[in-house]
Structure 1
Amino acid sequence: MPKPVLVGSQAISGGKPVPQTIGHRGFKAAAPENTMAAFRAATAAGADALETDLHLTRDGVVVLCHDETLQRCYGNEAKVRDLDWNEISQLRTLREPHEPMPRLVDLLEYLELPGLEDIWLMLDIKTHDDAEEMMRKVAEALASVPSKTPWATRVTPCCWNATYIKLSMTYLPDYPITHLGFSLSYARCLIDIPNISFSMMWQTIASPFGKSFLRDMKQLGIPVYVWTVNEEAWMEWCVRKEVSGIITDEVALCREVCDRTGNVEGQASSASKRRERTTGLKSRFLRTARFWTEMALINCLVTLFVAREWLKHGATSRHISKVLNG
């Protein structure tokens, strides 16, 4: 089977690859996250792709919401899966302009509008719902919205673990799969899966082990996306390292950074250099200290994750092989 290529996933400037600008939950910095206003703002700001999160309502509708509960964004203490769509559709975001929660089909229909044919979509499939029902409903939603360009070239399901990857291969066999996570060792166990790509927490890619991971994935032709990058200096770092895409809340800033020819050649922008001189050593020290503090916390989380998987399933590679081949 030929490998699907996501529309627009080979942005080139100056002869070198430029990372895709991927709107995290739309343009989260400009509008309430995971709303149509946020998605419209992201495409208007020049996003190459959109990232969003999936949950199921009680009556099986795939909706776009990051959290398991509705409290943070909508002020309702209920869980998404405890309400029907007709109830959730009446809610509005706490943040102005008080937007409703969209369904996956609403976003797909939007992406079929003229001028948006090159925008592609990353679906972060949350693990709070029944895995098989979720994947079946996602497949039904994709099949229900006609597209001039096949959705399999514009959509990638993002799966946190082998269970969802196996179900994605079952229900969406023609779609490229993205593993979403923060463990490089877990990701390395998945490199033989056809049409795989990786969406990793950026701090893990910036770690000492991330350098070899990026090098190896580049040699294998496996795309690597990073999340969530909101600082200009780290966006420039991502450009220099030639990651495949930057998932960000700051879509307009990321688009600007990725479009700078100087960065494509591996140089920081003149504006960035001026800021560096102005802020001086103290700012660099604080940024470095924060990075290594975050790295320490992430390494603790990865260690706990690996230990939990070991206790629950045994060796990670054996468990993944068992799930995928079982």
Structure 2
Amino acid sequence: MNTASAEVARQASGPGPLAAPQRTAQPTAPQLTAHRGDVERFRENTLDAVRAAVEAGADFIEIDVHLTRDGHAVLLHDRTLERLWGLDWPVAALEWREVAELGGGSERIPLLTDALALVAGSSSTVLIDLEDPECAAPAVAAVRDFGPAAPVAWCGDLEAMRIVRALDADASVWLPWNRRDVPPAELLAELQPDVVNSDYPMLSRGLVDAAHAAGLRVACWTVDDEDAMRWVLALGADAVTTNRLSALRAVVAEGPDAWAAAPRPAQLAGDEIAAAIVVAHELAHWAVEYTRGAEIGTVGAKAHAADHVTAVDLAVERHVRDVIAERFPGHLVVGEELGGSAQPGVPTWYVDPVDGTANLANGVPWTAFSLALAVDREPLVAVVGDVWRGQVFAAVSGFGAEVDGRRLDLRAGAGDVPEGITGTVVGTELLAYEPWLGLDEFLAGLGDRFCTMRIMGSSTLTLAGVAAGRGAGSVIERFSPIDHLAAVLIVREAGGVLLDDAGRETLWPDGAILAARPEAAAELYEVWSAARGAAQGAGQDTPRVG
């Protein structure tokens, strides 16, 4: 293992300065990588797109390679021809002569060697992206047979990079690293990369500085938003992959002062959020089963005698923290029992291991597990375990909500449901052991409309139940992301309405929150707002606890 790789790996084990760079100095200006060629002007992975990227002065031209049945390396991102050609055929099932007959001119699928010939003699480098390890050896052979006229670098699947390195000791390898910690020493020694290559939401100042101190460059993909471009450049990224080559060139020309003002993108990398969905489901199902069968043990108190804590609460939260620490290095956890705090731009999990601990401690089978992942105030993934029903609610921002795999949609058939709250049920919760300001008036206002109230003892279920049509709506007088963020994302993704006490739509209020079916929201808010106003006008005391 060279000294540079060892020093980068050592950063993972603790703080401290890294040794001076052992490789060549970093480029003085950020380098531009054209994603699948110049796709602003031409179809991706075509010779026209490659040629245009060369003419535009791209430092790297990223292309994707797959194999035909007879072993020809061709430029194509997908395994099949469906997305671009409307043909549900795997390219690996076709001979090269069949692939070559598709389209023509600017839309023709080219050979890898065709692209190498176009770039040969230019200032650009071909960055070959291998997502299928089976393509690695034939692609290396094609590059070797073509000769050194076209500079080449390699990126993509980790196993594919291992094959490239085994076949070519001098290859320029971009290490795929979609984690928030530093690559381990063993991996760096094995691959001997020139570049650490990451999906851009994963980048951090620590990763960039550690790589630079060891003489490695840092690249990121695929950055199309201009503020995101500025942010990664401000962090010190050496190469940026984009579909918007002209926009990236303009942002680079702005210079460091303009980059420094860019906000951190409030999002996760694609494979990171996919993994988060899987882990959230695993934890929810585990928590449901564990809580149903665990011994409660000694019941303790925290802030007051009604603020219960049990061994179950602690065991569930510790398990969640252990799993997240192992599966998502660099993520934070904020929990009901063990605390924690969020940091700007850092993915943070909010966990309430047992919402409704008073119920659990007193033998009332109505508790929930709540877990949500957010960046800043943007919730992305949510699960709620309804412990005693054995159900798991889940939602992903922008992709809907479900319970046990059944899609939740409050908009479906909403036109057949009468407007308003008459004859329905509405939920709320106490502030710990006290009524919230205006609760009496709220109860009376509901009664005037022949609507009844339920106080069940788990604010998580009181909110999440709205997404499943359990009642017309609910009101929680003091929002906390630990207790409620998962539930409100589930309601939003199911098509429900979420309002703060001023009537504004929100997922993260600073005070109270109302969740309702669309047809009930307006009247329920009217009753709630009137009750709060009447209580404040009467000069009632604010409850002492939360």
| TM-score, normalised relative to structure 1 | 0.70
Tell me the matched-pair count: 260
Kept after mapping to 1: 8 A contact 2:201/2:269:
no
Q: Distance in 2 between matches of 1:305 and 1:201?
A: 19
Structure 1 residue 217 displacement after superposition: 1.0
Give the deviation of 1:304 after TM superposition: 6.8
Identity among equivalent positions (%) equals 25
Residue 212 of structure 1 corresponds to 206
Change (3 A) 1:259 1:47: same
Equivalent residue, structure 1, for 2:141: 140
Pair 1:45-2:56 in alignment: yes
Task: Pick which of 62-71 and 164-173 moved more.
Answer: 164-173
Other-structure match for 1:301: 274
Return the index of the structure with the highest Cα Rg: 2
Alignment match of 2:157 (pick from 160, 178, 199): 160
Higher helix share: 1
Match of 1:250 in 2: 244
Cα contact 1:196–1:222 (8 A) shared by 2: yes
Of 258, 267, 276, which aligns to 1:268?
Answer: 258
CA distance in 2, matches of 1:305, 1:98: 40
**Which of 75, 86, 93 is matched with 1:82 structurally?**
93
Would the aligned equivalents of 1:182 and 1:302 in 2 still touch at CA under 8 Å?
no
Question: What is the CA distance between 1:256 and its match in structure 2?
Answer: 2.3
| Residue 267 of structure 1: how far off its partner (Å) | 1.0
Change (3 A) 1:59 1:159: same
Find 1:105's aligned residue among 107, 113, 123: 113
State the distance in 1 between where 2:170 and 2:52 align: 30
| Residue in 2 that maps onto 1:32 | 43
The reply to whether residue 198 of structure 1 matches residue 192 of structure 2 is: no
**Structure 2 gap segments, 5+ residues each:** 5-24, 283-325, 328-546
| Residue aligning to 2:71 | 60
Q: 2:131: which partner in 1?
A: 126
Report the CA distance shift for 1:169/1:230 in structure 2 as closer, same or farther (over 3 A).
same
Cα separation, partners in 2 of 1:35 and 1:216, compared to 1, 3 Å: same
Counterpart of 2:401 in structure 1 is: none
C-alpha distance in 1, partners of 2:229/2:156?
24
* SS of the residue 1:156 aligns to: strand
The runs of at least 4 aligned residues of structure 1 exceeding 4 Å deviation read 302-308
How far, CA to CA, are the matches of 2:73 and 2:41 in structure 1? 24
Q: Which amino acid aligns with 1:157?
A: W
Tell me: CA distance 1:242–1:298, structure 2 relative to 1, closer, same or farther (3 Å). Answer: same
State the alpha-carbon separation in 1 of the partners of residues 240 and 130 from structure 2.
19
Q: Report the CA distance shift for 1:29/1:306 in structure 2 as closer, same or farther (over 3 A).
A: farther
One-letter amino acid matched to 2:178: F
RMSD between aligned residues: 3.2
Q: Measured at CA, do residues 79 and 146 of structure 1 come closer, stay the same or move farther in structure 2, by a change above 3 Å? A: same
- SS for the counterpart of 2:127 is strand
Partner in structure 2 of residue 179 of structure 1: 175
How big is the shift at 1:84?
0.8
Tell me by how many angstroms 1:79 deviates: 0.7
Q: Contact 1:160/1:181 (CA < 8 Å) preserved in 2?
A: no
The structure whose residues are more often strand, as a share, is 2
| Higher RCO (CA < 8 A, seq sep 6+) | 1
Deviation (angstroms), 1:186: 7.7
Unaligned 5+ residue runs, structure 1? Answer: 4-8, 12-16, 277-283, 309-314, 317-326
| CA offset digits 1:39-60 (Å, max 9, x no partner) | 1121222211100111111000
CA distance in 1, matches of 2:184, 2:102: 41
- Kindly indicate whether the alpha-carbon contact (under 8 Å) linking 2:54 and 2:119 is maintained by their aligned counterparts in 1: no
TM score, norm. by length of structure 2: 0.43
Residue number in structure 1 paired with 2:497: none
C-alpha distance in 2 between matches for 1:122 and 1:106 = 14
1:213 Cα deviation after fit = 1.1
Give the secondary-structure state (helix, strand or coil) at the position aligned to 1:256: helix
Contact 2:48 2:106 in 1 (8 A): no
Letter matched to residue 197 of structure 1: V
1:155 Cα deviation from its structure 2 partner: 1.3
